[in-house]
Homo-oligomer: A and B are copies of this chain.
Amino acid sequence: MLATGLRKGLAKQKCVLYIERFGLNAGISTGFPGVPRSKKKVFIAHGPQADEPDSLIVRFPADQPLVLDSGAAIAPLQIAYQTYGSLNEARSNAVLVCHALTGDQHVANENPVTGKPGWWETLIGPGRIIDTDRYFVICCNVVGGCLGSTGPASLNPATGKPYALDLPVVTIRDMVRAQAMLIDHLGIDSLFAVVGGSMGGMQVLEWASTYRDRVFAAMPIATAAKHSAQNIAFHEVGRQAIMADPAWAGGRYREQAQRPEKGLAVARMAAHITYLSEPALQRKFGRKLQDRAAPTFSFDADFQVESYLRYQGSSFVERFDANSYLYLTRAMDYFDLAADHGGILAKAFAGTKTRFCVVSFTSDWLFPTADSRALVHALNAAGALVSFVEIVSDKGHDAFLLEEPEFFATLRGFVMAAAKARGLA
């Protein structure tokens, strides 16, 4: 491997404090085979995460291209990732966590952009369900993302300018191919588990199909083997909202020192509604007014739900790149695992020895239980070891990111049983 691994960012004062508070020190300070353990710490307070992320990075040189489903290639390729815990001698305890559309690699540490806890810190850490005292947890930014893996915000070495729409369109399988390059680079042959929700769940399925001999256990959560017409439709609304913003400038907004903030905010607002459920919105907001006793008879955010949505929109543009939003929604739209196997989903898993646990949530209308059932039927048809749990929750699609005791218990049971079977318990 000519690639290099650099440790950055997590050395930032804020992060270190955070890590100590949560006792994650052992986790993040551990190196891995083939990569230097202690690189010079680089402090980037508000640097561009796209090229110089506050993460470990690996750069694959031009002679190791990522060949894409479209036939195009990305080279050189950069992958930004975080790890927690240590790889064991047998290299058999690696857990790959796959993030969702607007997630990132900061799954169990303070996010360097938002300052918020990692998006699954409730699940991952020492003594937690995915116990970093026992497992070596890896999470990388997907290709097409904006937190350090090559994406439309990255500099195109051929031009010295951001790729923007010159980056080839990537698919879920392309993301997973890039992850496999990282896993190879880390010297890991077989992953103990691959876990993820939503777009992360699509990656889990793609791993279990494309690299079926390298995945011992797979947990696809709140996801589907193909993106539905309604979901494509919502994504198209988001893309059109971004492209309608004159500040988008054909994707070349960075060169003009501007951002399509309004368009991206509208895209996020529309998407955010789909992540929640009607009962959750009703319970949380109902028709409650925002800091006022009576309607103003205006277009102000009279209702709390309006105020909440506007906040979701405006805070999102601070942490996410509009072009990445285009690429990642497109990747999800294109996802159709059965189509890649002659239209028969079971063929995508033929001969699999992977243990599956499929999870859905009752109020998730973006990836409803019916999608998980279809997946489970296909896995059964392929003779796979599969369990399926539908969690009762009114929190909608977002439930997989929230405190859901039944979901936590399911994950705990699955990981423990798999660890026993793998000889890790």
Q: Which residues of A contact B (CB under 8 A)?
A: 68-70, 72, 165, 168-169, 226-230, 232-234, 236-237, 239-241, 243-246, 262-263, 265-266, 269-270, 273, 276, 278, 281-282, 284-287, 295, 297-299, 301-303, 305-306, 309-310, 313, 326, 330, 333-334, 336, 339, 365, 368
- Given A236-B305, A237-B270, A269-B236, CB of A287 within 8 Å of CB of B229: yes
Known: A244-B265, A244-B266, A297-B168. A286 touches B229 (CB 8 A): yes
A-B pairs with beta carbons under 8 Å apart, 8 shown = A228-B282, A233-B269, A236-B301, A236-B305, A237-B270, A240-B266, A240-B269, A240-B313
Residues of B within 8 A of A165 (CB): 299
In angstroms, Cα B274 to Cα A230, docked, is 10
Among candidates B69, B240, B244, B281, residue contacting A229 with C-beta atoms closer than 8 Å = B281
Name which of A229, A233, A276, A302 has the most chain B CB atoms within 10 A of its CB. Answer: A229
The copy count of this chain in the complex is: 2
If the complex has contacts A232-B305, A297-B169, A336-B287, are A237 and B273 also in contact, measured as CB distance less than 8 A? yes
Known: A232-B305, A236-B309, A263-B244. A299 touches B326 (CB 8 A): yes
A284 surroundings in chain B (CB, below 8 A): 229
**Which of A68, A232, A233, A368 has most B Cβ within 10 Å?**
A233
| CB pair B297 A69 closer than 8 Å | yes
In the complex, what's the smallest C-beta–C-beta distance from A231 to chain B, in angstroms?
9
Instruction: Please pick, from B228, B298, B326, the residue contacting A281 in the complex, using a CB distance under 8 A.
Output: B228
Q: Which residues of B contact A269 (CB under 8 A)?
A: 233, 236-237, 240
A323 CA to B306 CA, complexed, in Å: 18
Pick the contact of A266 from B237, B278, B281, B299 — CB < 8 Å?
B237
Task: State the Cβ distance, A202 to closest chain B Cβ, in Å.
Answer: 14
Instruction: List B contacts of A233 (CB < 8 A).
Output: 269, 273, 281, 305-306, 309
In the complex, what's the smallest C-beta–C-beta distance from A324 to chain B, in angstroms? 13
Inter-chain contacts of A301 with B (CB < 8 A):
236
A12 to B364, CA, bound (A): 51
